[in-house]
Amino acid sequence: MLKHLLIENYALIQKLDAEFLKGLTVITGETGAGKSILLGALSLILGQRADTRVLRDQKRKCIIEGTFDVSNYPVRELFEENDLDYDHVSVFRREITPAGKSRAFINDTPVNLALMNTITSRLIDIHSQHESLLLGKSSFQFDVVDGYASIESKVESYRKQFSRLLAARRELEMIEAKEKSSRADLDYFNFQFEELEKAALDPVEYSQLEPALELAKNAGDIRFSLEKALWLLQGEEGGAGQVLGELTVLFKPLTSYGTTYEELAGRIDSLLIETRDIQMEIERLKEGIFHDEAETARLESRMDQINKLLLKHQVQDVESLIKLKNEYQDKISDSVSLEHQIEKLTLQLTEDEKNLMSMAAEISAARKAAIPGIQKHVLSMLKDLGMPHASFVIHHEVNNALGYNGTDLIRFLFNANKGGDLQEVSRIASGGELSRFMLSIKSMISLRNLLPTIIFDEIDTGISGEISTRMANILEDMANDMQVIVITHLPQIAARGKHHLLVQKKVDGEHTNTFVKHIDQKERILEIAKMLGGENPTKVMEETAKELIFNRRKTII
């Protein structure tokens, strides 16, 4: 439950420090004093967004801090799941800086607004004047039925799995679109891959291909040159080899005449040896050179094949062609893989849909079983609130399509008058009817959900007379099991408060400030007397106020 609320630099509030207790707390004050400002500030620690317009002093940050006793409510797991320090008395704080930055903290640990809302929504429910519009919203109607049926956890589990199902369906659609596109191009990919695969591309081969082709084309000329070289080296009439042999014989005797002749003779011997080696190498080359038209044609064909592939694919080298071939192979493999993925995902989706249909059927049965009890409870409450002829029906349909809420369609149909046609709740025009209907709903779901705290902001709109007393009885009953805080203009409701907070607006120089204080019994009598008879109440009004306070309960007729 809410124990303490600190507000600094928010709207008309310079600083406010309010304590809240168990039971029924009423908040009263003149119109415009700032009662609803309290809820606006409190909504910030419930995760709502804010901007710098809420800052009273634009040079200082705004701080809203709520202290909650969470010891008796199942939120510890949420704390632990999100690495938050759990404490039986936990502090939720929001700060809005003059620069417009918003920060949220739970027990001094920074958190995002979504997480803050997730936790605080388990602790407090605020019903504002405009929240009655929720009655006509499908999401709220499902929440009411699910809360009464106590299947919130089942519905949450279903919705999580349904969200995953939707994600899987989107994934399947994307894969199918990709596979369809891939299938359309598959023949092209196969053709290109097979052409490149058959080419048996080898960068080393291609680097040697052009020299080999040149050699094959000029084999005749090369052989002729080699044969002529051999003739020059070993010709019978003055070949180079013969000449060097004669020089060797000639210089051999001269070596005894000094080192100069000896060195020259050695050089001639070396030339003779090198010449004989050259001669042998030329002979070897000549034996390997011959004109082969078939080989030349083969090399030309091979060269032409690779050059055409380079030109076709607009790349510069064989390495790029090999890379391209591998890419085509990957695309072919991807296409096959996509088919397998589609098959696997389709089977999984079928299984998931089957499981969800089973979950939806179980949820639908629980809702169907709960609906009569809800109708009975609400109609009973409406009768107590002075609407004995009201009709309320929850229209429930089941279809075969899975949706966010399972397979159910739910509509709240209502009519406040005897003999009238049932209509969608959203078409209810009377503010008083809306208030009483919403109070009936809220009292029912709050008690079943065991919320720690519920706050009503002028739930008494359009209410007066005996109905006010009956509404006060209901609020008082609710406060037996939970903390109920009511902002009210009705003395009948204000008199039922176990605790009474008075909101006042005071002008201090050029500034207007909103203050809140707990008032004692004497002050309460005066305050309720003012609500009955104006700013200057008579003794009769004061006696009436006492009667309202001390006659704690009026029997409901």
3-state SS of 216-260?
A: HHCHHHHHHHHHHHHHHHHCCCCCHHHHHHHHHHHHHHHHHHCHH
pLDDT recorded at residue 181: 72
DSSP string, 127-147: E-GGGGGGGG-HHHHHHHHHH
Is residue 404 a part of any domain in this protein? no
Is residue 52 a part of any domain in this protein? yes
Question: Could you tell me if 448 and 148 are in contact, meaning their C-beta atoms sit under 8 angstroms apart?
Answer: yes
Is residue 419 a part of any domain in this protein? no
CA dist., res. 97 & res. 153, Å (int) = 37
Instruction: Indicate if the pLDDT at residue 398 is higher than 70.
Output: yes
What contacts 238, CB < 8 A, 6 or more positions away? none
Q: Which of 335, 369, 386 marks a domain boundary?
A: 335
How much is the average pLDDT of 130-144?
73
Bridge partner residues of 513 (DSSP): 506
Torsion of CA 135, 138, 139, 143, to 10 degrees: 70
CA-closest candidate to residue 471, choices 375, 379, 386: 386
Q: Which domain holds residue 534?
A: 1-123+451-557
| Count of CB atoms situated within 10 Å of the CB of 104 | 21
113 lies in the same domain as 203: no
190 lies in the same domain as 321: yes
* Amino acid at position 284, single letter: R
Structure tokens that stand for 27 in this block: 């908040």
pLDDT recorded at residue 236: 61
pLDDT recorded at residue 552: 62
Question: Could you tell me if 92 and 124 are in contact, meaning their C-beta atoms sit under 8 angstroms apart?
Answer: no
Is residue 378 a part of any domain in this protein? no
Q: How confident is the model at residue 69 (pLDDT cuts 50, 70, 90)?
A: very high
CA-closest candidate to residue 117, choices 48, 33, 188, 218: 48
How much is the average pLDDT of 367-371?
95
CA dist., res. 146 & res. 365, Å (int) = 11
93 lies in the same domain as 203: no
Instruction: Indicate if the pLDDT at residue 556 is higher than 50.
Output: no
pLDDT recorded at residue 235: 64
* Amino acid at position 208, single letter: Q
CA dist., res. 61 & res. 67, Å (int) = 19
Of 89-103, 104-118, 302-316, minimum mean pLDDT range: 302-316
Instruction: Indicate if the pLDDT at residue 481 is higher than 50.
Output: yes
* Amino acid at position 64, single letter: I
Q: Which of 318, 335, 352 marks a domain boundary?
A: 335
193 lies in the same domain as 331: yes
Q: How confident is the model at residue 49 (pLDDT cuts 50, 70, 90)?
A: confident
103 lies in the same domain as 194: no
Element of type H or E holding 355:
helix 318-384
115 lies in the same domain as 199: no
Is residue 340 a part of any domain in this protein? no
103 lies in the same domain as 216: no
- Percent of the chain beyond pLDDT 90? 25
Of 265-269, 287-291, 396-400, 551-555, minimum mean pLDDT range: 551-555
193 lies in the same domain as 306: yes
Is residue 415 a part of any domain in this protein? no
Is residue 228 a part of any domain in this protein? yes
189 lies in the same domain as 328: yes
Tell which wins on pLDDT, 262 or 136: 262
Question: Could you tell me if 453 and 127 are in contact, meaning their C-beta atoms sit under 8 angstroms apart?
Answer: no
Per-residue pLDDT tens for 140-182? Answer: 889 889 988 989 889 989 999 999 999 999 988 888 887 777 7
Number of domains in the chain: 2
Is residue 217 a part of any domain in this protein? yes
Per-residue pLDDT tens for 329-368? Answer: 887 777 777 788 888 889 999 999 999 999 999 999 999 9
Instruction: Indicate if the pLDDT at residue 77 is higher than 80.
Output: yes
Report field, pTM of the whole predicted structure over 0.85: no
pLDDT recorded at residue 68: 93
49 lies in the same domain as 187: no
Write b or e for each residue in 261-272: b if 16 or more Cβ atoms lie within 10 A of its Cβ, otherwise e.
eeeebeebeeeb
Angle between helices 203-217 and 219-234 (to 10 degrees): 70
476 lies in the same domain as 552: yes
pLDDT recorded at residue 261: 83
Instruction: Indicate if the pLDDT at residue 133 is higher than 60.
Output: no
Instruction: Indicate if the pLDDT at residue 482 is higher than 70.
Output: yes
What contacts 516, CB < 8 A, 6 or more positions away? 16, 18, 27, 38, 501, 502, 503, 504
How much is the average pLDDT of 242-257?
81
CA-closest candidate to residue 73, choices 89, 58, 51, 85: 89
pLDDT recorded at residue 554: 47
Question: Could you tell me if 26 and 492 are in contact, meaning their C-beta atoms sit under 8 angstroms apart?
Answer: no
Arithmetic mean of pLDDT over the chain: 84
DSSP string, 492-512: HHHTT-SEEEEEEEEEETTEE
**CATH (domain of 39):** 3.40.50.300
8 lies in the same domain as 111: yes
CA dist., res. 154 & res. 160, Å (int) = 10
Q: Which of 335, 367, 400 marks a domain boundary?
A: 335
CA dist., res. 137 & res. 425, Å (int) = 9
Instruction: DSSP letter for 33, please.
Output: S
How much is the average pLDDT of 299-307?
83
